[in-house]
Amino acid sequence: MDKIIDYVADVTGERDRDAIDLAVAQALFECLDPDALTLFRLFEDDARERRLMPRAVFGAGYQSPLATVQLNRNLRETLPRVVDDPLVERCVNQQAAVRGSAADGRHRALFPLASDREVIAVMEVLTRDSMSPREQRMALGVLRILRNHLAILDYSEHDTLTGLLNRKTFDGRFNKLVTRVSRAEGEAPWFAIADIDRFKSINDNFGHLFGDEVLLLLARLMRENFRGGDKLYRFGGEEFIVTLDRATADAAESAFERLRHRVEAHAFPQVGRVTISLGFTTVLPGDLPANAIERADTALYYAKENGRNRVCGYEHLVSQGLIVPKTARAEMELF
């Protein structure tokens, strides 16, 4: 009992999601002593199919934490789909622990980890003998504590109105994004700032309740438009941030343009037509949050000054000579 209490104390002392995944998997592996234990995170691919991403794998004689591994899009598309495994699908859809048999005859138990809205992870336990009721209660109890801990983290990290991530979570997540920068296959992370056009007029003409409704509906459209691995933030007021995990330049621009079009085509109650302007930039090796914000904000300002309801990429504007990059501006000011 002392051992599991120590593990729970370690888990609830963590704030980093990767570290939490790893700590939970290790704690249950050492307490349950199974043949193997794997913690999978659920994510949606480009086709909105739910897939399983291994986050930590433990087995007899080996430990293979995968919490920091990032896969490119082609490899992510090879990961197993939830719908292809009936036991996993039942675990996810029913949000309940289920038991069955693995292909090699071992006992297989699956435990869901759910947020307030949906299952976000599945823990698979493989054993020679069926798990005892006590072991099952232990696993469910630890995961219940973890769910409560994640709920507290979610509350502190999300905007209370829209449910999107809030400003204070941005720097840490952006720094993680920078570590994934790679020019392999032409893909890179991307950063964008979206701003509702003439939002003050909406509040002035219709009142703040309808203004809040516009913010809520925009947040919903953003969730529907982007992949599960992409991060969405409300920075305050009518300003929103999007970070894309990996995409080509064309795919990134298409995703941002698709959002702009969906917002323009949406009928907002009472208000009617609403548009957004968006500026975006690629995330560079060693990038700093302030630098990415400045580049995207420069592109956003250009979009606002040139008609609104536009998507503008910083690098494209620079290459076309439509804006002067910061370093060049600084040199010009010196002389």
Per-residue pLDDT, averaged over 138-158, amounts to 86
Task: Give me the pLDDT at residue 335, please.
Answer: 40
Residue 62: the pLDDT is 54
Q: Give the up-direction half-sphere exposure of residue 145: CA atoms within 13 A in the CB hemisphere.
A: 20
* Strand duo 239-247 + 98-101: pairing: unpaired
> Mean per-residue pLDDT for 64-75?
52
**pLDDT tens string 119-129:** 889 999 999 99
Distances (CA, A) of 335 to 213, 247, 321, 324, 332: 49, 39, 20, 15, 5
Question: What do you get for the CA distance between the two ends of the chain, in Å?
Answer: 71
276 neighbors 260 (Cβ within 8 angstroms): yes
Is 305 labeled as catalytic in the residue annotation?
Answer: no
pLDDT in tens, 205-237: 999 999 999 999 999 999 999 987 799 999 989
Catalytic residue among 238, 257, 264, 333: 238
Look up tokens 């995703």; give the residue: 255
Task: Indicate the pairing of strand 62-65 with strand 50-59.
Answer: antiparallel
Kindly tell me if the per-residue pLDDT of 260 is higher than 80: yes
Residue 132, phi then psi, degrees to nearest 5: -75, 160
Nearest to 277, CA basis, from 333, 198, 330, 185: 198
Helix axes 17-32, 2-12, angle to 10 degrees: 170
Q: What are phi and psi of 42, to 5 degrees?
A: -85, 140
Report yes or no: 4 and 14 within 8 Å, Cβ to Cβ. Answer: no
Half-sphere exposure in the Cβ direction for 69 (13 Å, CA) = 15
Greatest mean pLDDT among 38-47, 162-171, 251-260 lies in 251-260
Q: Is the pTM of this model over 0.75?
A: yes
The residue among 301, 50, 244, 15 whose CA lies nearest residue 233 is 244
Is residue 122 within 8 Å of 106, Cβ to Cβ?
A: no
Q: What is the predicted pLDDT for the residue at 67?
A: 43
Distance between CA atoms of 123 and 109, rounded to whole angstroms? 8
Give the pLDDT of residue 88: 97
Q: What is the pLDDT of residue 71?
A: 52
Give pairs for 36-41: CB < 8 Å, separation 24+.
36/60, 36/124, 36/125, 36/126, 37/123, 37/124, 37/125, 37/126, 38/123, 38/124, 39/121, 39/122, 39/123, 39/124, 40/121, 40/122, 40/123, 40/124, 41/120, 41/121
Contact 123, 141 (CB under 8 A): no
Q: Which two tokens stand for residue 318?
A: 């620079």
For the record, the structure tokens of 12 come out as 């609830």
- For residues 162 and 100, what is the distance between their CA atoms, to the nearest angstrom? 39
**Is 28 in a helix, a strand, or coil?**
helix
pLDDT at 235: 92
Phi, psi of 163 (to 5 degrees): 80, 0
**DSSP state string for 263-320:** HHHS-BTTTB---EEEEEEEPPTT--HHHHHHHHHHHHHHHHHTTSS-EEEHHHHHHT
Given a cut of 70, whether residue 184 has pLDDT beyond it is no
Task: List, for residues 28-53, the tens digit of each pLDDT value.
Answer: 898 899 999 999 999 887 677 889 98
CA–CA dist 9, 253 (Å, integer) = 44
